[in-house]
A and B are shown apart, each in its own frame.
Chain A
Amino acid sequence: MTRISGTYLAKRLVVSYLTLLVIMTLLFVLLRSMPGSFISSMITSGMTAEQIEQIRETWGLNEPLWKQYLDFMINYQTGNFGRSPTYNAPVADLMIRRMPRTLILFGATFLIGFIIGPLVGMYLGWWRGTKKDKSIFSTSLLLYSMPSFWISWLFIWVFNYEFNLLPSAYMFTQFPEFQWTAVTVMRDVLYHIALPIMSLTFIGWVGAMLIMRPTMNQVTDEGYVFLARAKGLSERTVMIKHAARNALIPVATGAVVGLAFLIDGSIIIENVFSWPGMGQIIVSSVLERDFPVAQATFFLLAVLVVIMRLLTDIVYTYLDPRIKFGESE
């Protein structure tokens, strides 16, 4: 049964598109409001007025602001993110090179965190107040209060420096003495990704658990749970099929927020593990005033969040049959 109408989906797509337009406008305004000229870092002592003028011309700064804005909006909607002055390359190439690396790391972390977190939350919420609940909950709170970079360094110290079990940097072996094949690539990535994922998920699952636990506890008093029990269903079936499914809705909402936090964390984790993804260039592009890269990075992250928000709406309808988007229309 379709629980989300085509019209509603189309409307949501339009709203998402408009949201992105607003974000693009904000990016355009905010980055140009930063102190100093956009090109000042490219101008050095000894440059002639003609050279400075040439730079202004190259970056389109001699155009009126409305024209710059229009060009920016059109270019972005056609996938033209411009050229990076520091990387001396098209920004799109940089994004294509780096975005998959970040998605691999954080996609895996996101997935693991949002499997473990709700499962533990479900269990603790169902058995709330027990010794197990109290001890696991307080331990997880302790974990949650630890800074991710500190955990990362701790893991590096243990698994790399002390026992030399896992590498502490990069996505691949840098100067391999083996041949690259599909198998060696897969094995090498898994070998390198293990430590960053362990560091991220060590505390990353707690957020989802913290949402799931109280919601789960709430639904234990719901009528449909009593009904399920009255039907004689096993406690495990009642917990998973009837209670947990309904308790997952806030978790799905939390996943979007969680994604934003993960991206936030990527800046730290990618730098700690020398993981060559987006997190690294978010920092460097801002520090080096590489606005084309900074602009495109923030834009793509916004796109990611908007897409996730859209997907969440769709997921809602499958989690809770009572939710029907656009049915009245």
Chain B
Amino acid sequence: MSEKQSGSSRRRFLQGTGVAAVSAGLAGCSGEGDSETETTEESTPTEDQTPTEVGDAEDIPEGGIFNFGMGTAPNTLNDLASSSAYVGVITDRIYESGAAIDPVNFEMHPNVFTDWEAEVLDETGETDQPNVEIGFDVRTDGLTWNDGTEFTVDDVIFTYNYLLEQNPGGFAASLAPIESVEEGDDRDCLMTLNQPNGTFAYDQFGLPILPRHRWEDVDDYQTYEPADTDFGPVGLGPGVVTQYNPDTSVEVSFAEREGEYNLSDLDWRSEVPGVIPGGPFVDAMRIRVYSSQSALHQALFEGDIDTLYENIRTSRIQDAEDSDRLELLDGFDTGYGHYSFNTRRTPLDDTAFRQVLGFAYDDVYWTEQLQRGYAQEGDFVMPPGYTAVRPETDSDQEVLEGSATQAFSFRQTSPSVPDVEGIRSFLTEGQIITGEGGTYVGQEYPGSLTGVTAGQSEPKHDYSFGSVESDVLVNADEEPDQEIRIDGELLTDVHDGPLTMLLSPAQEAPQTAQMVDDWISSLRQIGIPVDREVVSFNTRVQRAYGSEDFDMFTMGWVNLSPFATNTLYSLHHSDNADDHSVAESEGDDDNTDTLLNNPMGYGVFEDAGADDLIDEARTTLDPDERNQVSRQAVERIYLDFATMVTGYEVTKWPVNSADWTGFVENIPGPGSTYLGTQILQVHRNE
């Protein structure tokens, strides 16, 4: 799967290649408690996971240089001014945040903040007024900035107020609910939110803590470059930047902080399976930047680097498996690949029609043939690793198992041959999968897992099939015998031409191009006139997310929040959709050019949306209740089918296991999203 974007509230884009990924370190919420008050101490994870077994920290050999490769240069060391994932590889070793998430159980744990307590002030949930107060204590004992300066509570208060004043774009969503942060009476600090936010520890406590002595004279964060200062970026983290050639190489030294960094010694780390406390154990991390993916991979195989950012290319997996030096660590996808549909346009405005698009998508061809088994069939907008917010959890089903997750799977008469007649009948008979159990196009569906139903209870249009008339189908190699009519008219008349799928050039994403071809072929066999338009990644982003000038497009998301609420809000809430009622500036059409994450327009119209559920999930403080509502929202989105999840990657992170050990596997994004965990505990083999 290629061409993905980061779905975190703080977006870090993979630059240059057009592929996007990973943000680091936005923390989430944990702890027991009711909806009124939530207190978190250094908590104990309880989930039963099976990550890599590790030894005791005392036995771990220290030292060595860990060599890391990237395909894009980190252009700045200013964490506030950049959303680049590659910048995060460095700055995440420098800056720390109030709370930390463990990558195994997704529980929030104390980090710079030792504990916190949230109190709801306003039960109405109205925004724009003091609504929730969060008191928290700050760990000052033994914490110093990496330039040796003493860390104080004042730095924390400065950080929040500085961020609120400057409002950097990458942190906008996390800063928006914060009303104020000031010194507290009972607690070190008091944060006031203008709306309840169940994942405040992930969102608001995940912001990087800045040293006042470095930032207070910075009037405009955008023009500040820490690399130009005498020391480099100053943070509470374990690293010090000792070499910075942004175009080619960077060195982050951990030896410089020996005996000074103690956040990796916190009790909770020793209680999370697979996590070793006490790191980092390497002297330094050296980052080499290569200009092409080929050069990067070759450097890995030649032994110039010990690992690389992200996963290995599918085409090189066999080489890695044959290597004596390399090992492939399994991990979960942090997002999903998708085809999304513009619900503003007929007939894509009809859930029944959109569901038919799912019936024509041959999942097995994608996962088994094109992805050679390194992909899982897609269903919900939450990847399989995030079980707590997957609808299966409501009915204790195995993830990705069971027919409730197969509602829109490929309908075929024989392998790879679409069930043309069955699918046509689904439309002509006015069927729609609302969430109620039944048999749809020859396949049993047991009903929704969480009890939700689709926004529509019946199709919006009358569908029929007649003679083939549109040019697309007349000239199609598939030679369909019938063509669809929508309310008695040709689709090409109603829609002003065939439906068009935007996709990348085949040389950039060959498997995707093949899959789209196969899908279009199936749709044409059914009698639906569909065409393709090849455009570059950036053009597609602009067409889809900027001007919503598309019918259908293919892309992907990575780095979704394990707590779901941020992701659901950002990608599927109508707040993040352009309803084409407002012009961005005078003289423009009623369509803003702002890149909005919900180009489908999902939730803009009454008959397809999950706004209520998403809003409820976002403002629910109790984790169990919040997850339950999130699961409902996830299933509602599935049934409404404005986005078709095409698959999840089976991630393979290549590492030099001949020289290094201590990596955690079976976590999401082992070499990207949770790279910080790996760096803290990688160490030399005996």
- Name A residues whose Cβ lies closer than 8 Å to a Cβ of B: 35-37, 40-48, 51-52, 55-56, 58, 83-84, 86-89, 97-98, 153, 161, 168-172, 174-175, 270-276, 280, 283-284, 287-289
For the complex, is B121 an interface residue (Cβ under 8 Å from A)? no
Residue of chain A at shortest CB distance from B296? A274
For the complex, is B176 an interface residue (Cβ under 8 Å from A)? yes
For the complex, is B400 an interface residue (Cβ under 8 Å from A)? no
User: A44-B595, A274-B291, A276-B247 are known contacts. Are A36 and B169 too (CB-CB below 8 A)?
Assistant: no
Residue of chain A at shortest CB distance from B535? A35
- List the A side residues contacting B170 at CB < 8 Å: 44
* B172 touching A271, Cβ below 8 Å: no
Q: Report Cα–Cα, A271/B542, bound state, in Å.
A: 26
Q: Report Cα–Cα, A311/B92, bound state, in Å.
A: 50
Q: Report Cα–Cα, A280/B176, bound state, in Å.
A: 37
Q: What 0/1 readout, one digit per residue, does chain B (165-177) give for beta carbons within 8 Å of chain A?
A: 0010110110010
**A82 CB to closest chain B CB, in angstroms?**
12
**B490 CB to closest chain A CB, in angstroms?**
29
- List the A side residues contacting B9 at CB < 8 Å: 46
Question: In this complex, which of A43, A171, A270 has the most chain B Cβ atoms within 10 angstroms of its Cβ?
Answer: A43
User: A44-B172, A88-B222, A175-B249 are known contacts. Are A289 and B538 too (CB-CB below 8 A)?
Assistant: yes
* A86 touching B75, Cβ below 8 Å: yes
Q: Report Cα–Cα, A84/B291, bound state, in Å.
A: 20
* B593 touching A37, Cβ below 8 Å: yes
For the complex, is B596 an interface residue (Cβ under 8 Å from A)? yes
| Contacts A48-B167, A89-B75 known; 18 new A-B pairs at CB < 8 A | A35-B542, A36-B542, A40-B542, A40-B594, A45-B173, A45-B597, A46-B570, A47-B172, A47-B594, A83-B223, A87-B246, A88-B75, A153-B294, A170-B248, A175-B251, A274-B289, A287-B537, A289-B538
* B546 touching A175, Cβ below 8 Å: no
Q: Report Cα–Cα, A304/B65, bound state, in Å.
A: 42
For the complex, is B485 an interface residue (Cβ under 8 Å from A)? no
Q: Report Cα–Cα, A267/B586, bound state, in Å.
A: 39
* B16 touching A287, Cβ below 8 Å: yes
- List the A side residues contacting B290 at CB < 8 Å: 169, 274
Q: Which residues 233-254 of B sit at the A interface, judged by CB distance below 8 A?
A: 243, 245-249, 251
Q: Which of B78-86, B408-416, B645-653 contacts A (4 or more CB under 8 A)?
A: B78-86
**B151 CB to closest chain A CB, in angstroms?**
26
Q: Report Cα–Cα, A280/B75, bound state, in Å.
A: 13
**A138 CB to closest chain B CB, in angstroms?**
31
* B16 touching A45, Cβ below 8 Å: no
For the complex, is B636 an interface residue (Cβ under 8 Å from A)? no
* A161 touching B302, Cβ below 8 Å: yes
For the complex, is B539 an interface residue (Cβ under 8 Å from A)? yes
* B225 touching A36, Cβ below 8 Å: no
- List the B side residues contacting A272 at CB < 8 Å: 291-292, 295
- List the B side residues contacting A98 at CB < 8 Å: 247
Residue of chain B at shortest CB distance from A288? B15
Residue of chain A at shortest CB distance from B9? A46
Name A45's contact: one of B73, B82, B292, B570 (CB within 8 Å): B570
User: A44-B83, A274-B289 are known contacts. Are A88 and B225 too (CB-CB below 8 A)?
Assistant: yes
For the complex, is B444 an interface residue (Cβ under 8 Å from A)? no
* B249 touching A168, Cβ below 8 Å: no
**B540 CB to closest chain A CB, in angstroms?**
11
Q: What 0/1 readout, one digit per residue, does chain B (555-591) give for beta carbons within 8 Å of chain A?
A: 0000000000000001000001000000011000000
- List the A side residues contacting B16 at CB < 8 Å: 283-284, 287-288
Residue of chain A at shortest CB distance from B547? A36
12 A-B pairs with CB atoms under 8 Å apart are A36-B547, A47-B172, A88-B75, A88-B223, A89-B225, A98-B247, A169-B290, A172-B248, A174-B249, A273-B291, A274-B289, A276-B248
For the complex, is B447 an interface residue (Cβ under 8 Å from A)? no
Q: Report Cα–Cα, A96/B114, bound state, in Å.
A: 47
* A88 touching B594, Cβ below 8 Å: no
Q: Report Cα–Cα, A84/B595, bound state, in Å.
A: 20
**B441 CB to closest chain A CB, in angstroms?**
36
* B289 touching A175, Cβ below 8 Å: no
Q: Report Cα–Cα, A98/B246, bound state, in Å.
A: 11
**A274 CB to closest chain B CB, in angstroms?**
4
* B570 touching A35, Cβ below 8 Å: no
For the complex, is B354 an interface residue (Cβ under 8 Å from A)? no
Q: Report Cα–Cα, A326/B145, bound state, in Å.
A: 69
**B611 CB to closest chain A CB, in angstroms?**
15
* B75 touching A43, Cβ below 8 Å: no
User: A174-B248, A174-B249, A283-B16 are known contacts. Are A51 and B172 too (CB-CB below 8 A)?
Assistant: yes
User: A88-B76, A88-B78 are known contacts. Are A168 and B225 too (CB-CB below 8 A)?
Assistant: no
Name A280's contact: one of B167, B291, B299 (CB within 8 Å): B291
Q: Report Cα–Cα, A271/B543, bound state, in Å.
A: 28
* B247 touching A40, Cβ below 8 Å: no
* B176 touching A169, Cβ below 8 Å: no
Residue of chain B at shortest CB distance from A53? B585
**A152 CB to closest chain B CB, in angstroms?**
10
- List the A side residues contacting B222 at CB < 8 Å: 58, 88
Q: What 0/1 readout, one digit per residue, does chain B (69-111) give for beta carbons within 8 Å of chain A?
A: 0001101101001111000000000000000000000000000
* B78 touching A44, Cβ below 8 Å: no
Q: Report Cα–Cα, A43/B542, bound state, in Å.
A: 12
**B639 CB to closest chain A CB, in angstroms?**
24
* A169 touching B594, Cβ below 8 Å: no
Residue of chain A at shortest CB distance from B78? A88
**A291 CB to closest chain B CB, in angstroms?**
12
Residue of chain A at shortest CB distance from B71? A274
* B594 touching A43, Cβ below 8 Å: yes
* A274 touching B295, Cβ below 8 Å: yes
**B197 CB to closest chain A CB, in angstroms?**
13
For the complex, is B298 an interface residue (Cβ under 8 Å from A)? yes
For the complex, is B286 an interface residue (Cβ under 8 Å from A)? yes
User: A169-B290, A174-B248, A271-B292 are known contacts. Are A46 and B172 too (CB-CB below 8 A)?
Assistant: yes
Q: Report Cα–Cα, A171/B288, bound state, in Å.
A: 13
- List the A side residues contacting B249 at CB < 8 Å: 170, 174-175
Residue of chain B at shortest CB distance from A89? B225
For the complex, is B11 an interface residue (Cβ under 8 Å from A)? yes
User: A51-B172, A288-B16 are known contacts. Are A37 and B584 too (CB-CB below 8 A)?
Assistant: yes
For the complex, is B459 an interface residue (Cβ under 8 Å from A)? no
* B595 touching A43, Cβ below 8 Å: yes
User: A36-B547, A47-B169 are known contacts. Are A287 and B538 too (CB-CB below 8 A)?
Assistant: yes
* B546 touching A37, Cβ below 8 Å: yes
* A174 touching B245, Cβ below 8 Å: yes
The 5 closest A-B pairs by CB, nearest first: A46-B173, A276-B247, A88-B76, A36-B542, A37-B593
Name B539's contact: one of A35, A89, A174, A284 (CB within 8 Å): A35
- List the B side residues contacting A41 at CB < 8 Å: 595
For the complex, is B18 an interface residue (Cβ under 8 Å from A)? yes
Residue of chain B at shortest CB distance from A90? B223
- List the B side residues contacting A161 at CB < 8 Å: 298, 302
Residue of chain A at shortest CB distance from B170? A44
Q: Report Cα–Cα, A270/B294, bound state, in Å.
A: 13
- List the B side residues contacting A87 at CB < 8 Å: 75-76, 246
**A184 CB to closest chain B CB, in angstroms?**
16
Q: Report Cα–Cα, A42/B542, bound state, in Å.
A: 12
**B273 CB to closest chain A CB, in angstroms?**
34
Question: In this complex, which of A41, A46, A170 has the most chain B Cβ atoms within 10 angstroms of its Cβ?
Answer: A46
**B252 CB to closest chain A CB, in angstroms?**
12
- List the B side residues contacting A37 at CB < 8 Å: 546, 584, 593
* A40 touching B546, Cβ below 8 Å: yes
**B648 CB to closest chain A CB, in angstroms?**
23
Q: Report Cα–Cα, A66/B11, bound state, in Å.
A: 34
- List the B side residues contacting A43 at CB < 8 Å: 169, 593-595
- List the A side residues contacting B176 at CB < 8 Å: 46, 48
- List the B side residues contacting A51 at CB < 8 Å: 167, 169, 172
* B295 touching A174, Cβ below 8 Å: no
Residue of chain A at shortest CB distance from B67? A175
Q: Report Cα–Cα, A161/B300, bound state, in Å.
A: 12
- List the A side residues contacting B539 at CB < 8 Å: 35
- List the B side residues contacting A174 at CB < 8 Å: 245, 248-249, 286, 288
